[in-house]
Structure 1
Amino acid sequence: MADPFAWDEALLRRYDTHGPRYSSYPTLYSFSEAFGERDYLAALTRSNTDARPLSLYVHIPFCRKACHYCGCHKIATRNAKLAEPYLSRLDREMVLIKPHLDTRREVAQLHWGGGTPSFLSLDQMSDLIDRLDARFGLSNARDRDYAIEIDPREADVFTLRHLQALGFNRLSLGVVDLDPRVQRAVNRVQPRVLTEALLDEADRLGFHSLNLDLIYGLPLQTRDTFAATLEQVIAMAPARISVFNYAHMPERFAAQRLINTEDLPGPKEKLAILRTTIAMLTGAGYVHIGMDHFARADDSLAIAQREGTLQRNFQGYSSHAQCDLVGLGVSAISSIDDVHVQNHTHLAAYEAALDASHLPTARGIRLTFDDRVRWHAIERLMCDMALDLDELSETFGIDAPRYLANSLSRLEALQRDGLLSFESHRIVATPLGRLLIRHLAMAFDVHLSPTPDERFSRIV
């Protein structure tokens, strides 16, 4: 198996520090509890001036069985009755937001995540869509991006037919790993046939941009076992594949304490798994979009990257640029106008706020001019794997090389190590630098501690 580019294990390990994923800038740890409901409502109102399309994210926190690796905000329960009061409070949140938004704005993007949205019954899914449509007006446009995360263990062909009827046109299926030993080690037993059956039906129904989620760095994984999983996934031919780096943080996530640390692949083996993944997927025709995302060349993510319109938000990479993101549900994050804001992460606090007719705003931040400049620079690096300083200067009316002089000086060591090149007024990540793009972006982050912050995951 040929390497896709020159591989330098020592260099990768040296730069494998803790760092943000930059789904926002400033990152979540810079959000302030002094930012409250009134600040968020003011931002919602201001956003109507530019009348950008809307992106709605709905967080469904429930799942029936907790996977040991999971670091998401979720509630493991088999009590399906918990969904009804939660849906009622979601509707209450929409009611409180609606008066502050011009609902003539198109809802170009919709994403249900969790937990697992497939915890909901089909009737509950219909009810939630009806409520969203009544409050915001959903789109029928052919280029809308309406996605939902599905647990193949909790869905069948009838689920997919129902989702299509509700207007969803993209699916993301959690796979993790197809090796039964790894599945048992992380408490997620999921026979391959479940995934294949859903993929076949989704293809027949005409869903586009099907995504499969994998995770590397899990217990009992080796480069050979993961290669076997990749062979099977490639044969399924999804349009997108996400291969996430498992971040083992048992001090933060209780479920991870059930993982036997001795079974985790060591740093050398984990890098070998990553090397195998990139070689196999690019060899099979997938474009390495960045970080953990791969897509076929004709997929909207790859097209957006070629056209320079790829965007990053709290759901990862997105082909729908320039949307205001409204997050609904416990722990959901919004990015609208010039603010980032997060809802309460504990269900009881979320419920109490809404029961008192208040938005469940827990914390947030309003971006300064400097934040907006740096967020633009970081986002372009993360999406384009390059940064055009002339474009940055024109966009913000600044002399970008002078304005960002301290950040650019931090990149000089990375340039000497072959992670980037300066081409006129463009910073371009090398193939190896693309794997460390989070490290390149960190040079522009003035909120970041100068020492590695272990609240963040490792870069590779």
Structure 2
Amino acid sequence: MTESVFWDPLLIQRYNRPGPRYTSYPTAVEFQSVDSDAMEQQAYAQRDPEKPLSLYLHIPFCRHVCYYCGCNKIVTKDTSRAAPYLDYLKDEIRRKRALLQPAADGQLAAVEQMHLGGGTPTFLSDDELVDLVTFLKQQFRFSTADNADFSIEVDPRELRPTTLTLLRELGFNRISYGVQDLEPEVQEAVNRVQSEEMIRQVMNEARELGFHSINIDLIYGLPHQTLESFARTIETIIDISPDRLSVFNYAHLPERFKPQRRINAEDLPPAEEKLAILGHCITRLSEAGYHYVGMDHFAKPDDELAIAQASGTLHRNFQGYTTHGSCDLLGFGVSSISQIGDYYLQNQVKLEHYENCLNQQQLPLNKVCEVSADDHIRRRVITELLCHLHINFDALDQEFGINSRDYLAADIDRLTPMHQDALVDISSAGIHITERGRLLVRNACMAFDTYLQRHEQQRFSRAI
């Protein structure tokens, strides 16, 4: 693949239908509610103790509501709410830590990756951050390898003068800033006002402190955005020069996300303008030297994401694209999701339910999904397409003991329109996403999703 991305608005419009983002397969809509933690206990009992660990901690609190946001959050300025939540979080961590079996060397498998998300993790005070990370280091063995990945999401408006320095001292080496848009009119319309000067300041400070990789999140399709206005934002972001960029599509779903009701639908850019915004963004970032990883993600060629994709080791999970696909993912906190062996396990989504489970000496499990043999095959296909843009039939045959050409015949037939439009190449060796098809790889994945036809497509955002 070249670094340029093929752009055909008419073709994209034709394929721009709703579908999953495939941070898991089966996707979260397939998870089933349970009334006990028995399956989570079973997942830990069956876990391969040699597999390294990835930790995700969900801190749900935000001081301000961003109107576009669909995350699981609690908006409050009462910082005293953090302390009791952290007590419950530690209780959950202790319980899950006790279920982990040691590896052959007698030690727990190392934590190769950790991510704090939310909400706004820096809602926690500096002392609370120190206390939480100190506790985690008492419970787990953290890898000291150069490629260990310890990251945190940061709202630039909520940083105290000491926070970035503290995070670096605690071992965080990757950071992600929520920016979304730099135009004042857009910021005011979504209730997230932060100046360009502020963004530059926190970026410069993170660089000086030696964070290995700095990400910026942007959103296209917000109220009052135009091709011209977002072009100005992109030029500024290119000048600021983050290592990674996530450029997300805003899905206006006020019936599902209450804060979005404060956004006037008439202020949103029309579909043609929104598509033009994305097209310019992709073209301009490619010109500026960013590698298009896929699914709205860009990285500099020397960033670990781009390197992992080039070497065939890129993976995808609930944290998006990742370089640590060999890990079992342990989720802690309200609404967090674990992926352990053949199991997906989601915590209680409401805080009171999360607390009630722990008060009753149970893990705060809400929903589960046990991956079937068929799911494993299709997950491999979808992951390979999303991460590496191809699947090899012989490799599938060897890994799963099947004749993949026959096994996937009906799914391959569903790719016929994409093949006719030169978006995919289908041969006796495998399936390959072409230059023309890179932006529509999500559509190719849908062909292999046996669950998708059972659901209304309105449950998912559009592919572009």
Tell me, in whole angstroms, the C-alpha distance in 2 between the residues paired with 1:44 and 1:443: 32
**1:233: which partner in 2?**
237
Aligned residue identity for 2:19: G
1:41-52 matches, cutoff 5 A: 41-49=41-49, 51-52=50-51
Tell me, in whole angstroms, the C-alpha distance in 1 between the residues paired with 2:308 and 2:368: 29
**1:15: which partner in 2?**
15
- After TM superposition, give the deviation of residue 60 of structure 1 in Å: 0.3
- After TM superposition, give the deviation of residue 222 of structure 1 in Å: 1.0
Aligned residue identity for 2:60: P
**1:28: which partner in 2?**
28
- In the TM superposition, what whole-angstrom CA distance separates every residue of 1:284-331 from its partner, at most 9, and x where no partner exists? 000000011000111100010011110101010001121100000000
- In the TM superposition, what whole-angstrom CA distance separates every residue of 1:216-265 from its partner, at most 9, and x where no partner exists? 01011111111100100011111101101111111100000100100101
The answer to whether residue 388 in structure 2 is matched with residue 384 in structure 1 is yes
SS at match of 1:432: coil
The answer to whether residue 401 in structure 2 is matched with residue 397 in structure 1 is yes
- After TM superposition, give the deviation of residue 35 of structure 1 in Å: 7.6
The structure 1 residue matched to 2:301, chosen from 294, 297, 301, is: 297
Tell me, in whole angstroms, the C-alpha distance in 2 between the residues paired with 1:6 and 1:314: 27
Cα gap change, 1:419/1:364 in structure 2, threshold over 3 Å: closer, same or farther?
Answer: same
**2:139: which partner in 1?**
135
SS at match of 1:275: helix
Aligned residue identity for 1:37: D
Aligned residue identity for 1:136: F
The share of aligned pairs that are identical, in percent, is: 48
Cα gap change, 1:431/1:119 in structure 2, threshold over 3 Å: closer, same or farther?
Answer: same
- After TM superposition, give the deviation of residue 387 of structure 1 in Å: 1.6
TM-score (norm 2): 0.96
- In the TM superposition, what whole-angstrom CA distance separates every residue of 1:88-140 from its partner, at most 9, and x where no partner exists? 00001011111211362010000000001010100000111112112223333
Aligned residue identity for 1:28: A
SS at match of 1:387: strand
SS at match of 1:24: coil
SS at match of 1:454: helix
**1:326: which partner in 2?**
330
Tell me, in whole angstroms, the C-alpha distance in 1 between the residues paired with 2:433 and 2:35: 36
Aligned residue identity for 1:53: P
**1:100: which partner in 2?**
99
**1:345: which partner in 2?**
349
Aligned residue identity for 1:66: V
**2:123: which partner in 1?**
119
- After TM superposition, give the deviation of residue 142 of structure 1 in Å: 2.4
Aligned residue identity for 1:31: F
Tell me, in whole angstroms, the C-alpha distance in 2 between the residues paired with 1:366 and 1:6: 38
SS at match of 2:459: coil
- In the TM superposition, what whole-angstrom CA distance separates every residue of 1:357-407 from its partner, at most 9, and x where no partner exists? 111100111111000010011011111122222211111111111111111
**1:159: which partner in 2?**
163
Aligned residue identity for 2:115: H
**1:244: which partner in 2?**
248
The answer to whether residue 340 in structure 2 is matched with residue 336 in structure 1 is yes
Cα gap change, 1:450/1:358 in structure 2, threshold over 3 Å: closer, same or farther?
Answer: closer
Q: Which runs of 4+ in 1 moved over 6 A?
A: none
Mean alpha-carbon deviation: is it higher for 40-49 or for 107-116?
40-49
SS at match of 2:275: helix
Tell me, in whole angstroms, the C-alpha distance in 2 between the residues paired with 1:6 and 1:25: 27
SS at match of 1:111: strand
Contact 2:182/2:195 (8 A) holds in 1: yes
Aligned residue identity for 2:425: S
Contact 2:55/2:331 (8 A) holds in 1: yes
**2:83: which partner in 1?**
84
Cα gap change, 1:5/1:150 in structure 2, threshold over 3 Å: closer, same or farther?
Answer: closer
Tell me, in whole angstroms, the C-alpha distance in 1 between the residues paired with 2:238 and 2:394: 40
The answer to whether residue 259 in structure 2 is matched with residue 260 in structure 1 is no
Tell me, in whole angstroms, the C-alpha distance in 2 between the residues paired with 1:41 and 1:6: 47
**2:105: which partner in 1?**
none
Aligned residue identity for 1:17: R
Tell me, in whole angstroms, the C-alpha distance in 1 between the residues paired with 2:38 and 2:294: 36
Cα gap change, 1:48/1:7 in structure 2, threshold over 3 Å: closer, same or farther?
Answer: closer
Tell me, in whole angstroms, the C-alpha distance in 1 between the residues paired with 2:45 and 2:221: 44
Contact 2:5/2:286 (8 A) holds in 1: no
Supply the RMSD in Å over aligned alpha carbons: 1.4
- After TM superposition, give the deviation of residue 451 of structure 1 in Å: 6.7
Cα gap change, 1:450/1:4 in structure 2, threshold over 3 Å: closer, same or farther?
Answer: farther
1:366-381 matches, cutoff 5 A: 366-381=370-385
Cα gap change, 1:396/1:219 in structure 2, threshold over 3 Å: closer, same or farther?
Answer: same
Tell me, in whole angstroms, the C-alpha distance in 2 between the residues paired with 1:145 and 1:7: 33
The answer to whether residue 213 in structure 2 is matched with residue 214 in structure 1 is no
Cα gap change, 1:36/1:308 in structure 2, threshold over 3 Å: closer, same or farther?
Answer: farther
**2:63: which partner in 1?**
64
Contact 1:408/1:443 (8 A) holds in 2: yes
- In the TM superposition, what whole-angstrom CA distance separates every residue of 1:189-229 from its partner, at most 9, and x where no partner exists? 01111111111111111101110000001011111111100
Structure 2: tracts of 5 or more residues without a match: 103-107
- Paired residues, number: 457
- In the TM superposition, what whole-angstrom CA distance separates every residue of 1:148-178 from its partner, at most 9, and x where no partner exists? 0000001145211100111100000000001
Aligned residue identity for 2:335: S
Contact 1:36/1:363 (8 A) holds in 2: no
Aligned residue identity for 1:106: A
Cα gap change, 1:451/1:47 in structure 2, threshold over 3 Å: closer, same or farther?
Answer: closer
**2:278: which partner in 1?**
274
- After TM superposition, give the deviation of residue 6 of structure 1 in Å: 4.5
SS at match of 2:219: strand
**1:39: which partner in 2?**
39
The structure 1 residue matched to 2:208, chosen from 204, 208, 225, is: 204
